[in-house]
Amino acid sequence: MDFKNGAELLELCEKTGSSISKVMIDREQELSEKPLEEIMDRMRKALCIMREAAETPIKEPKKSIGGLIGGEARSIWTRHSEGKSMLGPVVSRAMAYACAVLEVNASMGLIVAAPTAGSSGVVPGVLLSLQDEYGLSEEQLTDSLFNASAIGCLAMRNATVAGAVGGCQAEVGVASAMAASAAVELMGGKPSQCLDAAAITLMDMLGLVCDPIGGLVECPCQQRNASGASLALTAAEMVLSGVKSFIPFDEMLQAMYQVGRKLPSELRETALGGCAATPTGACFGCAMNK
């Protein structure tokens, strides 16, 4: 029961009366020829690694290898726990967790690429924050990771998730679309709403370039993971309120891919444009690569 695009995924969901996560779990079982329990255990393990990476830097901040980040997760968490957050607990926690995972990643800690290492904070940020707020079970969260992976799978199949090919919109953009879709399912939305939230997120992030300072996965990656998490929640909130995406998910994915291919190479992970080429960014890059 494979699907080639979002429309086919929705058809499968309708035909079987299943959620996106259920369809994705069945697909994984069928195509990998592995027992259900092994597949679920593997995803549970991924969730455990995600949680550890999202929580550790809040207690023990650590400087990154390049020295550009470290401590941001704790700062955001502190403001949230003092009740000062403007955005409320769900968004501020999602941001703190997303920043935390990037801190772990940038200091050679253990993370789960989702879909890439540079965008690994968004999905755990959104899901763990929703779990905190709504007391969701481990099973629900594990299932929702399959929902997220269905979106990522389509992006890998029909577009790209590589910053070097499609810019940051393909990395953090897709990660955020994955998180938005998973969030909608967790909050009781329908499969079509999941894809709408993913489409709106891609729309919001369209054109975002990949311009890592000094070529490192630190800044602006960490900030964009936090913003991506908040955008995913924004899109999910819109859709759950009844807002629809004017453009279908499959078309948005193609638009993202087309825009990505039109980006000059300076804006695709080469550290030659954007933030990396600002006087401050370039100055850091030169000093580091000497």
Identify the residue among 32, 75, 258, 280 touching another protein (CB under 8 A): 32
Closest distance between another protein and the C-beta of residue 84, in Å? 30
Amino acid at 99: C
Identify the residue among 117, 240, 272, 282 touching another protein (CB under 8 A): 117
**Given the complex with another protein, which of 64 and 192 has the nearer CB atom?**
64
Query: What is the distance between the terminal CA atoms of the chain, rounded to a whole angstrom?
Result: 52
Using the rule CB under 8 A, is 267 a contact of another protein?
Answer: no
d(CA 203, CA 37): 36
**Given the complex with another protein, which of 81 and 254 has the nearer CB atom?**
254
Count of residues touching another protein (by CB under 8 A): 53
Side-chain half-sphere CA neighbours of 284 within 13 A: 18
d(CA 233, CA 187): 11
d(CA 140, CA 136): 6
Amino acid at 194: C
For the segment 46-65, give every residue that binds another protein (CB under 8 A).
46, 49, 64-65
Using the rule CB under 8 A, is 41 a contact of another protein?
Answer: no
For the segment 151-170, give every residue that binds another protein (CB under 8 A).
152-153, 156-157, 161-162, 164
Using the rule CB under 8 A, is 235 a contact of another protein?
Answer: no
Side-chain half-sphere CA neighbours of 275 within 13 A: 19
Q: Is 248 helix (H, G, I), strand (E, B) or coil?
A: coil
Sequence-separated (6 or more) residues with CB below 8 Å from residue 31: 2
Which residues share a beta bridge with 242? Answer: none
Using the rule CB under 8 A, is 140 a contact of another protein?
Answer: no
**Given the complex with another protein, which of 18 and 81 has the nearer CB atom?**
18
Which residues make up the interface to another protein (CB under 8 A)? 2, 24-25, 28, 31-32, 39, 42-43, 45-46, 49, 64-66, 104-118, 120, 123, 145-146, 148-150, 152-153, 156-157, 161-162, 164, 178, 214-218, 271, 288-289
